[in-house]
Each structure stands twice: as structure tokens, then as C-alpha cells.
Amino acid sequence: MTPMELYERCSQELGSGNWLEDCHQMLRGALDIASVTSPRVFCLGLGCPASSKDARAQLAFLLRTCDVLSIDRSKVSAYDPVFAAEDVNLLTALGVAYLDDNKRGRYPIGSPTLLFMPHCDAKLYENILRENWSRDRLPHLFMLCNLFSEYLDSTPSRQLAARFPCLTRLAPYLVVRALPSGSPFPTAFTSTAVQFVTPQALPVDSDRAFWDLPPAAANDDAAGHEGGPRQGCLL
């Protein structure tokens, strides 16, 4: 089967049962709480949808969600350094723009944006939060990704402040809504949740213990690539 045929079959399987509809109902409620309408969409760390069943399911989930939420596909962009030519061709055929530069998550987000970042390395999340570490920008990040709490719980406390200061500081203020259980592709959506912060929940500007960040780690440029250790072309 061609990558497009595999994608279409996967999309149909994803829509069987009530799971996808339940997800969309939850997402609508979360978007209302976040006061987000018609966001643009960044998909980072997807893996290889032309060859990976999980990546295909994640892509189908994202695009079916965009269709249900009336988000035009011209507003959807994707990047992963592991994309092969067949992945880019599939994305293009589906109307998704391919970002051809690896910013390692350092995208300035100046307007409401759905960040779909499945199974990425914690450093990638840290990088995008650091790039947007302000009262104006953080509420623009409507993140659909792995639970931050799982990364924090698995990291020794003595390392958290040094390695992931943004994740560590922001986590207590996040609104978190986990995807329902019962996905037809359970490994594709393990520990996946909506996570965002409202403007009123953030600390005041004078709280410098929150807003003043330590310098980025010296090995920052070598870490946090799109497509973390749990995702890849051979899944």
C-alpha cells in the first residue's frame, strides 16, 4: 500500500468507536477555557508517518481534529529532522506545510497556537517554553503532548532546576486534561494530554524567582531535537 493509502486506512480505524469524538469534546472544552479560537498549528516530533503506524495515527488524529475544529490545513506546519522524502510528500499531499529548518523547539509564538508534540524529549518542551517565557507569550501555547509531570517525576529533584527550570516552574500553574482512554492505537497516545496556562494563573511580573531563568545549559544545542527518544521511523 502507498503511504496515502496507509494513512487513509489508519484515519478510518481511528474514527471507529467513540474515542475520537470524546477527545474532540474534551478539546473543545479546553479551548474554551484557554480562550483560544482558530489557532495555527505546529506539529513537532511526529516521527515518520509514511513508515510508522504510531506516527500515522498521531497525524490522522491531528488532522481530523483540525477538520472538526474548523482549522484550515493551510495553518498547519510540521517538522521533524527524521522526516524522509516520502514523509514530506505525504504531508504535502495532505495540505500540511513542511518546516525545513531545525530550531530545536525555539519557535517564538506570537499568537494562539496548538502545539502538537507527541512523545518528544523533555528538552524540546523546555526549549519552546524558554523561547516564550513571558506573560504575553506563554498563554498562546496550547500544548497537546506528553504529560510534563511524568518527565518531572522521573528526573531526580536535584537535577530539575538546572535541566528543566521552565517545566519545573510552570507545571504547578498548568490546566491539564488527559486524553480519554480506549484509543484504537494505545501506544500512539500514551500519557498524552492538553496542557496550557491562563494569563490570570501566571505569577505577577514582580515575581522574579519565577520569571528570571538561569542560563541555558552548555549542551543545549545538542539536545531537544524534534523527534525524541520514544519516537522514530522504525516503530
pLDDT digits (tens, 9 = 90+) for 153-187: 888 888 888 899 999 999 999 999 999 999 999 99
**Per CATH, which fold does 3-199+206-222 belong to?**
Rossmann fold (3.40.50)
The DSSP secondary structure of the chain, one letter per residue, reads --HHHHHHHHHHHHTSSSHHHHHHHHHHHHHHHHT--S-EEEEES---TTT-HHHHHHHHHHHHHHHHTT--GGGEEEE-TT--HHHHHHHHHTTPEEP-S--TT-----S-EEEEETT--HHHHHHHHHHT-STTTGGGEEEEEE-HHHHHHTS-HHHHHHH-HHHHHHGGG-EEEEPPS--SSGGGSTTEEEEE--GGGSPPTT-HHHHPPPPPPTTGGGS--SS-TT--TT-
Q: Quote the pTM value.
A: 0.91
Instruction: Look at residue 104 and tell me whether its pLDDT is greater than 90.
Output: no
